[in-house]
Chains A and B, each alone.
Chain A
Amino acid sequence: KAGVTQTPRYLIKTRGQQVTLSCSPISGHRSVSWYQQTPGQGLQFLFEYFSETQRNKGNFPGRFSGRQFSNSRSEMNVSTLELGDSALYLCASSSSYGGYTEAFFGQGTRLTVV
């Protein structure tokens, strides 16, 4: 069974640009969560999608948005990039929403904003 796939693995963008990151969950998984990892702030939850609906959102500005498609693949978008958006963005997929389900992580997208 293929794992969680995040594309691209590395990105370099310029301040003010926008970027779209993609996450393909494990086949059959319907929940996708996104996290931002930085040396200063650690791992912070961005948002969670289940069945194409945003179920939970972290404390990030409106420049950060996401969506989920009918095949459960998810994208996150960051508009008007700032230097502080440089981070490792991790995606995790889970099989369901209620009760405990294990979250499986992708290898992340390393975004550098210059």
Chain B
Amino acid sequence: AQTVTQSQPEMSVQEAETVTLSCTYDTSESDYYLFWYKQPPSRQMILVIRQEAYKQQNATENRFSVNFQKAAKSFSLKISDSQLGDAAMYFCAYSREYGNKLVFGAGTILRVKS
């Protein structure tokens, strides 16, 4: 079975600085997708960024980028120029190529200090 591990229960970052959230996963599949979701206090899950396993290039979305290391099964999220609105719970998630079932990590609470 696929598993996703987030080893940082909580992280803090100063406004305007950079923070990296870690994620490792375990799978025997060769084709899959990886995601970072943000869950603010409103509880609505919002997709931050996604990565297709067959793509070697790391995904980037504005201030958010990932470091995808397929052989090491590592998928970290870097948030640059952190803003107060980035404060939330961040979940790393895995999905196989077919179907929409998401396997989530335990989450990392990100606090942003002004």
- With A42-B104, A103-B47 known as contacts, the answer to whether A97 contacts B42 (CB < 8 A) is no
* Complex Cα spacing A44 to B3, Å: 12
CB-based contact A99/B100 at 8 Å: no
Cross-chain contact of B44 among A31, A43, A106 (Cβ < 8 A)? A106
* Complex Cα spacing A103 to B45, Å: 10
Interface members, chain B 73-111 (any A CB < 8 Å): 91, 95, 97-107
Chain A CB within 8 A of B64 CB: no
Residue of A nearest to B98 (CB): A98
Shortest distance from the beta carbon of B63 to any chain A beta carbon, whole Å: 20
Interface size on A, residues (CB 8 A): 27
CB-based contact B106/A42 at 8 Å: yes
| Residues on the B chain within 8 Å of A55, using CB | 99
CB-based contact A105/B100 at 8 Å: no
* Complex Cα spacing A45 to B46, Å: 17
| Residues on the A chain within 8 Å of B105, using CB | 42
Chain B CB within 8 A of A56 CB: yes
CB-based contact A33/B107 at 8 Å: no
CB-based contact A43/B104 at 8 Å: yes
Chain B CB within 8 A of A48 CB: yes
Cross-chain contact of B45 among A44, A90, A98, A101 (Cβ < 8 A)? A90
Residue of A nearest to B100 (CB): A94
Interface bits A22-53 vs B (CB < 8 Å: 1, else 0): 00000000010101000000111100100000
| Residues on the B chain within 8 Å of A112, using CB | none
The 6 closest A-B pairs by CB, nearest first: A105-B45, A43-B104, A94-B100, A107-B44, A42-B106, A56-B101
